[in-house]
Amino acid sequence: MNDFSLTRRSLFGCACCGAMVRPRVAIAVPGQDRGYPEALELGTTSMSRIAPTVWVGRIAEGLFLYTTTALIDGGIYYPANGLILERDEDAVLIDTTYGPEQAKTLLAWCARHARPISLAIATHFHNDRTGGIPALRDAGIRTWAHPLTCELARRRGLPVPEPIDAFSGDHHDMGPYLQLYAPGPAHTRDNIVAWLPRQQNLFGGCMIKSTNSPSLGNVADAVLRDWPASVRRVRARYHAAKCVVPGHGAIAGDPIATTLSLLAKA
């Protein structure tokens, strides 16, 4: 496993990637500094760089955090977080990276260092969550999502996951390893969170901002009126979470409190 180097902080501002942003996943030369986040930072400082724009690190038993970066409008590298959740014989990918090459990198890494990925979940329709779907599909791996996510991705011309028709009301139970919850409109109308009961970890996705986020970022598809109530529902439901993973930036501190504070200022 290549370990090119660890995280670097930057003083640039943030702008959470939206559906209208078409990130370009850049190819960097190993040993050079291209590909590092230039807004926010990697999920943790204990991640190994397995490709110029892909990092992975274990954060709990059977659970890996990954961060990918891409060039967004303005020409800065912006990070996005996702998870690799190991089950008995396989692994589930929570969100699919910015693009196919990054998804292929994670597939290859899991085949060597973890359990093989057999399923992916997209937590909303934006490209930083759905961009890797084509590579997963080519590998015979299905990507599931809330039915509204599929509808919105199709409307925007983004990679379209398969709908979870069994999504009952606001939740979908995938067994002892994974539960999905749709708390209501926030960063987007379709955003869901993923609860990992065995690790007591919560993947908040882009509706939850990291403690270093200076603003709410891209709100082009947000429902600002409903966002605070949706976050409070998440907090009430998962108040015992040991770790909350935001969609972008560091997993340290209390991202839910940070999000509510930013919303109050907005």
Catalytically active residues are: 124, 126, 128, 187, 206, 209, 218, 248
What is the DSSP code (8-state) at residue 237?
H
Distance, in Å, from the CA atom of 182 to the CA atom of 235, rounded to the nearest integer, reads: 13
Token couple for 45: 């400082």
Diameter of the chain by CA atoms? 49
Question: Helix, strand or coil for residue 235?
Answer: helix
DSSP string, 94-158: ES--SSHHHHHHHHHHHHHHSPPEEEEE-SSSSHHHHTTHHHHHHTT-EEEE-HHHHHHHHHHT-
Distance, in Å, from the CA atom of 26 to the CA atom of 118, rounded to the nearest integer, reads: 27
Instruction: Please report the beta strands in the chain, taking only residues with DSSP state E, as ranges in sequence order.
Output: 48-51, 54-60, 63-72, 76-86, 91-94, 117-121, 142-145, 162-163, 171-173, 179-181, 193-196, 201-205, 243-246
